[in-house]
Amino acid sequence: MTTPKSTAGFATRAIHVGNEADPSTGAVAPPIFATSTYAQEELGKTKGYDYSRAGNPTRTRLEQNLASLEGGIAAPVFASGMAAVGALCHLMKAGDHIVASDNLYGGVPRLFNQVMANFGLQFTYVDTTDPRNVERAIRKNTRYVYIETPTNPLMGLTDIAAVSAIAHKRGCEVVVDNTFMSPYFQQPIKFGADIVMHSTTKFLNGHSDGLGGVLVCTTKEQAEQLAFVQKAAGAIMSPFECWLVLRGTKTLAVRMKQHDESGRVMADFLRRHRKVKQVFYPGLKSHPQYELACRQMSGFGAMITIETGSLANAKRLLKRVRLCTMGESLGGVETLISHPASMTHAAIGAAGRKAIGLTDGMVRISVGIEDLGDLIADLEQALG
């Protein structure tokens, strides 16, 4: 079996790139190379691997797979999404500046403000749904513009092409957290992004059974520097976790199709429900950036946030669901339901939540791929 060309379809590449049969045994499933070190034939002579912090064959396979799916040239993987963002920070030096979206996954500003700021990195947060705010915030020392689209949990979108054009004119690189859409529905590199970040913990793994992160690179320089950071700082993904994500991406296309189909129907059901005050979903024509969603995404995905009107209503809904699992995280085959104000966005405080319009009555749903009728029946009884 040969590796498919980069022009092959998404599902073909997802199943085959990095999943070539094992040359020594013919095993169709990639082996998990549970080894720390590698026998050397003589001084200085290896088979390409010398120590698993620097490189591991199972990790190489996953990195090739993810690079292909995002249209990048390399995809160094890390122990978690946050470890990937940490590795990105390791490419900077004291005095460097990042312009970041003011509505990011809560862990990212926590890392930036409470860890990286101590090392002299500087951060400015702006509402990137209007690219002109990015233009105004860029300084001489800005290295990266860091965005997430759609945002968690308000589903605000940032125009990747517009922000990339602005950043490139000023000599900075654009990093896009593409976790919510996965490369199946959104490929930021096509719109000018320089680095694509994922928490592979979510849709790429898809089964809620492992943590990981990736930084998909577009230049040789980024790839070399991040490979060095993997070796030097060591927050790499373990071979077993790599194997889980490789296994996960094989079904990414079919899972995302179902997530999207169910997401659309669920959003429409919630929009019509009298107990639901507002629905945040980029696939609804009422979404203020519906047109941008159609332009830069090929599907709308499974992430839906609803306004129930009060903390008491949100609590009641979360207590009453039976099939939906209440918990952090998203992107698994099972439907997960959460309360952003007290869970994912507790760290930014009440003032921070108010500033981005995140209320105590909001509930976020990651629509899984169970039978849709069962999911709707569960929400119907929980809302009723």
Ligand X SMILES: *Cc1c(COP(=O)(O)O)cnc(C)c1O
Which member of 72, 109, 213, 239 binds ligand X (CB under 6 A)?
Answer: 213
Q: Annotated catalytic, 96? A: no
Nearer to ligand X, 199 or 313 (CB): 199
Nearer to ligand X, 15 or 336 (CB): 336
Taking CB under 6 A as the binding criterion, the range among 197-205, 214-222, 310-318, 347-355 that sits at the site for ligand X is: 197-205
Residue 102 touching ligand X (CB under 6 A): no
Residue list 81-100, contact with ligand X (CB under 6 A)? 81-82
Query: Whole-number minimum distance, CB 28 to ligand X, in Å?
Result: 28
Residue 327 touching ligand X (CB under 6 A): no
Q: Annotated catalytic, 364? A: no
Q: Which one of the listed residues 59, 202, 255, 364 is annotated catalytic? A: 202
Which member of 122, 149, 199, 338 binds ligand X (CB under 6 A)?
Answer: 199
Q: Which amino acid is at 199?
A: S
Nearer to ligand X, 33 or 105 (CB): 105
Q: What is the 3-state secondary structure (H, E, C) of the chain?
A: CCCCCCCCCHHHHHHHCCCCCCCCCCCCCCCCCCCCECCCCECCECCCCCECCCCCHHHHHHHHHHHHHHCCCECCEECCHHHHHHHHHCCCCCCCEEEEECCCCCHHHHHHHHCHHHHCCEEEEECCCCHHHHHHHCCCCEEEEEEECCCCCCCCCCCHHHHHHHHHHCCCEEEEECCCCHHHHCCHHHHCCCEEEEECCCCCCCCCCCCCEEEEECCHHHHHHHHHHHHHHCCECCHHHHHHHHHHHCCHHHHHHHHHHHHHHHHHHHHHCCCCCEEECCCCCCCCCHHHHHHHCCCCCCEEEEECCCHHHHHHHHHHCCCCEECCCCCCCCCEEECCCCCCCCCCHHHHHHHHCCCCCEEEEECCCCCHHHHHHHHHHHHC
In the bound state, the residue with its beta carbon closest to ligand X is: 81
Residue 211 touching ligand X (CB under 6 A): yes
Residue 105 touching ligand X (CB under 6 A): yes
Give the closest residue to 134 by CA, choosing from 156, 104, 112, 167: 167
Nearer to ligand X, 63 or 177 (CB): 177
Residue 107 touching ligand X (CB under 6 A): yes
Which member of 58, 64, 80, 366 binds ligand X (CB under 6 A)?
Answer: 80
Q: Annotated catalytic, 275? A: no
Taking CB under 6 A as the binding criterion, the range among 15-23, 28-36, 195-203, 370-378 that sits at the site for ligand X is: 195-203
Nearer to ligand X, 91 or 215 (CB): 215
Residue 176 touching ligand X (CB under 6 A): no
Nearer to ligand X, 105 or 135 (CB): 105
Which member of 202, 247, 264, 353 binds ligand X (CB under 6 A)?
Answer: 202
Nearer to ligand X, 57 or 239 (CB): 239
Q: Which one of the listed residues 102, 159, 177, 260 is annotated catalytic? A: 177
Q: Annotated catalytic, 53? A: yes
Angle, in degrees to the nearest 10, between helices 81-89 and 220-233? 110
Taking CB under 6 A as the binding criterion, the range among 77-85, 134-142, 165-173, 274-282 that sits at the site for ligand X is: 77-85
Would you say 52 and 37 are in contact if contact means Cβ atoms under 8 Å apart?
Answer: yes
Interface with ligand X (CB under 6 A), residue total 15
Reading the block at residue 116, the tokens are 């990286």
CA gap 13, 216 in Å, rounded: 16
Q: Which residues pair with 305 in a beta bridge?
A: 280, 364
Contact code string over 126-165 relative to ligand X, x by CB under 6 A: ----------------------x---x-------------
Residues serving a catalytic function are 53, 105, 177, 202
Contact footprint for ligand X (CB under 6 A): 80-82, 105, 107, 148, 152, 177, 179-180, 199, 201-202, 211, 213
